[in-house]
Structure 1
Amino acid sequence: RISRGALCVEVGLLETTIAGGTKIGFRSGRTAGETLSPPPLEVEALDQGSAGRADLRRVAGSYFRVYGKYPDGLVKEENRELAAGEKGRRTRSPALLPRPLPPDTQESASSAPASWEEVLDIYREQDRLLVERVKRRCAKEKTPFIAFDLERLMENYRLLSRGLYRARVFFPVKCNDHPGILELLASWGSGFEVASWAEARTLLDMGVEPERIIFGSPVKVGEHVAAAYREGINLYAFDSHEEVRKLAANAPGCQVYLRLSTPEVGESIFPLSGKFGAPPGDALHLLRAAEEAGLRPVGLSFHVGSQCLDPSSWWIALATTASVWREACREGFDLSVLNIGGGFPVTYREPVLEKEVFVSSVNFALRSHFQKMPRLIVEPGRAMVGDVAVMVATVIGKARRAGTEWLYIDAGIYQGLVEAMQEKERFSYRVFAEGRGPLRRYNVGGPTCDSADVVARGAVLPELECGDRLYIMSAGAYTNVCATAFNGFEPPRVLLMSG
């Protein structure tokens, strides 16, 4: 049995050693630029090895290449052309696609990165291209603002909607609720996951059909449920007896899916299982309680945690969920919906594996654990919008304090960069700037009087002066949606680049 550490990549022939010492080969005929629909994978045991779990950084550094440039675009407050439908769409750029390598040249091929440092350089090159585009199109815009690259957003949507096996995307509105983003995703056919009536009402007012909205929060406000149910929203998550009673009272006869708590493997920057999810051992009891209350249990769900860095986390979660699924079916429950949540990571200060690796790993785990494939729901938030935007801020002050160089900018944790405060040891935004002076190591602080308002620590930047611009990368997720006007500093404006 393949255990934690299994990795499946749809790029030619790749061999990796998994826990237990068995070497596995993954074959696929896909090449760069071809369709993102996952082809069938042929899996075979090659031989016995002595090594343990594959080092994911070594895999990324040895076998993956990112290449290609993005087309230029225009700055628009709203993207009416793309939102209207097919008009304005482009063929997917080859950027972000892995390049297949012959099996005998994986370690030595000069076309592939040979070290993790080179992978980091590639990500920096992608960032440079995005920054250059923002500079050309937004040079006269007043800071702070967040510029979204809609070409990249389209690439992410195509990968996540077509790459995962028969999955339907339900974008979590909490990740980014800007009307232009939501309208664009809706025009491409995306569904949406909401946690409140306000989020649901926003979508309904845009013309999104109730059938394309699910109420995915495990803990809900009863009045919000009743309002959503009256408008035709009929699929809800639950994870406790209290939620069963709440749903039975406010949405009688609705369809429900049980959210499970899955094992934490320590690879999620923002873990969720401690706050949400029923223990697998309680699953049958809760499903029976829902059925007895007049609800219609139709499936299961889980979430590995936000910004999950290890593809094998989905293997473990799917193994747990599949076991509950089989037991529930034996007990007579007619389950058809499997919601695997989100959690796919994007690069912040430290690079991560490409999205294709996580997509392939999930596909492999699904085929391994489910004989009959359920109706698959995926809720990619950060992976959809996180790496398609850059926040632009202006240096408003500088100082040297206790031997540390400080820069102060006109955007901080209260202007949308709140995640910099949540996980200081494991999470940090990447910041870039142009300058001809010597490189220095800076702490970058926001404009408010709160001492916790620090965006990045130890950032390596050229010497900067007041009035210079700073570019904060991967600023598309949980930024503008979390921004406030604390201390009198206005939230950043949102600009959508298309064309």
Structure 2
Amino acid sequence: MKISTPYYLIDEKKLLRNLKIIQQVRRLSGARSVLALKCFSTWSVFALMREYMDGTTSSSLFEARLGFEKFGKETHAYCVGYSEEDIRAVTQFADKIIFNSVSQLDRYYDIAKSAKLGLRVNPGISYSHFDLADPARSYSRLGVVDKAMLAKQIPRLSGLLFHYNCENDDFDAFSRQLDTIGEHYGDLLEKLQWISLGGGLYFTKEGYPVEKFCQKLAEFAKRFDLQVYLEPGESAITGCAELVTRVVDLVQNEIDIAIVDASVEAHMLDLLIYRQAAKLDTGGRGRYRYMVAGRSCLAGDVFGTFQFNEKLEIGSEIRFADAAGYTMVKKNWFNGLKMPAIVVRRLNGTEELVKEFDYTDFINCLS
């Protein structure tokens, strides 16, 4: 099938590799896994994902509704700041409603008490390579810090959320953190039904000690008689998608520069936010060196500098790897650029064009 670039290509076979590890963790540890929609909300592959996961977790009313309508199973609703309208809506379908602060719990308790309620905790520890994504950074607004205040809320709660990791692929660090949480909050956990350890745990990374991870989770759950939840986002979808582009121009300014029909600013925004280069599955040892840039007007709209095996030409295809997480959920209409289509390569190898965007979509986002 001929598909016009740019487009995101999700490969279900690659996705399945991660899902089978999640299934293994569920089986060996007893922990349940709910997909973090803030990372990946492309519901055209939810039919496959729901076979291996327990539901979804959200960061807003719309995400919670999407999880309920398109994924099913458990629907966890969390938001840094609910409005009253949000809470009244989310109580119609959420199994668990998790508040970010005691003040929000107080304000909306009577409205939300029909659901199982939780509070997010800021344990003062974290694992993150970026201050921007560190939930325990100075002056963090994310979660309850005061344990004494937290303890007073326990009779109104069924569980707690501890989301303190970002791309943590270090099992030993995770193990130490979990011990710290057990030591500091164990007296509260013993009175509850569940704990969520949030996302940011990179347990699907190649070489990660999955069996040790499972044993640690199982021991923790048994010690405090809790149902443990994980909220995989990147771990569920890492390595399963590409952003497929084509070269539309070649220019030279001390180095060779290839301009593609996509944009970092509009289509892989996380790279720009965290000042990272895109990934190419080319090995990086080719003879021909090019800076690859997007076609927006932003001077810094650059995917990175790469080595190619062959000289690039107008029309050459360039595929950026690992383009699922925090891409499609952040894509935007900056410069009015054509938004990438979404294509899924199904398990049987067929490629399905599931969504195209056109001028109508662009103009309907404006007024």
Report if TM-score (shorter chain) is over 0.5: yes
Partner SS for 2:183 = helix
Map 1:28-177 → 2, pairs under 5 A: 140-164=2-26, 165-177=29-41
| C-alpha distance in structure 2 between counterparts of 1:205 and 1:364, whole Å | 34
Matched, 1:420 2:277: no
Runs of 5+ in structure 1 lacking a partner?
1-137, 347-351
What letter is aligned with 2:159? G
Change (3 A) 1:179 1:318: same
Distance 1:413 1:322 in 2: 41
Deviations 1:13-39 (A, max 9, x none): xxxxxxxxxxxxxxxxxxxxxxxxxxx
Q: Is the 8 A contact 1:240 1:286 kept in 2?
A: no
Amino acid at match of 1:182: F
Does the 8 Å CA contact 2:118/2:161 hold for their aligned counterparts?
yes
Cα distance change of structure 1 residues 253 and 321 upon mapping to structure 2, 3 Å threshold: farther
Residue 239 of structure 2 aligns to a residue whose secondary structure is: helix
Give the unaligned 5+ runs of structure 2: 349-367
1:235 aligns with 2:96: yes
Matches within 5 A, 1:445-456: 445-456=293-304
Deviation at 1:473, TM superposition (A): 0.5
Structure 1 segments of 4+ aligned residues over 4 angstroms from their partners: 265-269, 367-370, 432-435
| TM-score, structure 1 as length reference | 0.62
Query: What TM-score do you get using the length of structure 2 for normalisation?
Result: 0.82
2:193 aligns with one of 298, 313, 336: 336
Check if 1:320 corresponds to 2:180: yes
1:495 aligns with 2:343: yes
Pairwise CA distance, 1:194: 1.5
Separation in structure 2 between the aligned mates of residue 438 and residue 369 of structure 1, nearest angstrom: 48
Letter in 2 for 1:430: K
Would the aligned equivalents of 2:101 and 2:144 in 1 still touch at CA under 8 Å? Answer: no
CA-to-aligned-CA distance 1:206-262 (integer Å, 9 cap, x gap)? 3725xx100133433332121010x14141223422222243153135322232224
SS in 2 for 1:387: coil
- Could you tell me how far apart the structure 1 residues matched to 2:186 and 2:282 are? 54
Instruction: Flag the 1:261–1:203 CA change in 2: closer, same or farther, 3 A.
Output: closer
Distance 1:444 1:156 in 2: 29
Contact 2:195 2:228 in 1 (8 A): yes
Question: Which residue does 2:213 correspond to in 1?
Answer: 362
2:287 equivalent to 1:439: yes
1:380 aligns with 2:232: yes
Inter-CA distance 355–182: structure 2 relative to 1 (3 Å threshold)? farther
Question: What's the secondary structure of 1:308's corresponding residue?
Answer: coil
Q: Distance in 2 between matches of 1:201 and 1:232?
A: 8
Give the CA deviation at 1:335: 1.1
| Cα distance in structure 2, aligned partners of 1:289 and 1:373 | 19
Residues 336, 252 of structure 1: alpha-carbon distance in 2 compared, 3 angstrom cutoff: closer
Q: Tell me which residue corresponds to 1:225.
A: 87
Q: How many residues align?
A: 339
Q: 1:460 aligns with which of 292, 307, 314?
A: 307
Q: Deviations over 1:241-293 (max 9, x none)?
A: 2222243153135322232224135546843333454465x1342241464xx
Q: CA deviation at 1:157?
A: 1.4
Q: CA deviation at 1:343?
A: 1.0
1:304 matched to which residue of 2?
164
Match of 1:272 in 2: 135
1:476 equivalent in alignment to 2:324: yes
Contact 1:258 1:283 in 2 (8 A): no
Structure with larger Rg: 1
**Whole-Å Cα distance in 2 between the matches of residues 409 and 345 of structure 1?**
31
Quote the RMSD (CA, aligned, Å): 2.9
User: Aligned-pair distance for 1:417?
Assistant: 0.6
The percentage of aligned residue pairs carrying the same residue is 20
Which of the numbers 168, 176, 181 marks the counterpart of 2:45? 181
**Structure 2 residue corresponding to 1:248, chosen from 109, 113, 136:** 109
Contact kept in structure 2, 1:303 and 1:340, CA below 8 Å: yes
Residue identity opposite 1:461 in structure 2: F
Aligned-partner Cα distance in 2 for 1:177–1:207: 10
